[in-house]
Amino acid sequence: MNSCFASIAPVVCTLSQLVSHRGRSDLPETIFSQTEALHLQVTIEFSRSGAIALMPLGLPLQVEFLAESLGNRDSAGATAGRFLIGTSRLHTAAHQMIYTAAIEVQPQHAGFAAEQVYEVSALLRVGASHQPAWIVGTIGGLLTQTY
């Protein structure tokens, strides 16, 4: 998948490697049965000198995984639209610049319909909830199919 980055001098945050796979397998997969676990993950990487100072603060990292149905329209011509698959929450730590946000869900319980193609994206928010975010970013382009 493509990567996305946000730069707030002197901090750069890069989202990359949005992937899906079956259960605990490390092999990327894009076609899933309604009854098997879907594992989604994205890599978050901070860089530049300012990031070194921010990591020990234990900043909250929240990643929302979203899906949007592509094609397969209903009789009125509408698709199912975008929906939240799940959320991963982490905190930054001293001397750690790379984080992996991951979730595992059952497609049928997360809102996926059978015989559909979805575009999956991840939305990153760095900072405390109910406060303005320090960094916000998104990455998309992962296509999955359910049966």
Q: For domain 4-146, is the CATH number 3.40.1160.10?
A: no
pLDDT at 54 over 60: yes
How high is the pLDDT of residue 49?
A: 83
pLDDT-derived band at 33, boundaries 50, 70, 90:
confident
pLDDT tens by residue, 2-31: 676 665 558 889 999 999 987 666 666 888
pTM confidence score:
0.86
Is the previous residue joined to 10 through a cis bond, with omega within 30 degrees of 0? yes
How high is the pLDDT of residue 71?
A: 76
**Domain ranges for the chain:** 4-146
How high is the pLDDT of residue 76?
A: 56
Q: Which residues partner with 20 through β-bridges?
A: 40
Residues 6+ apart with CB under 8 A from 144: 20, 30, 31, 32, 38, 67, 117, 118, 120
pLDDT at 126 over 90: yes
User: Phi then psi for 48, rounded to 5 degrees?
Assistant: 85, 165
The rounded percent of the chain whose pLDDT value lies above 90 is: 52
Instruction: Judge contact between 21 and 29, C-beta under 8 A.
Output: yes
pLDDT tens by residue, 72-124: 655 555 556 789 999 999 999 999 999 999 999 988 888 888 888 999 999 99
pLDDT-derived band at 34, boundaries 50, 70, 90:
confident
How high is the pLDDT of residue 103?
A: 96
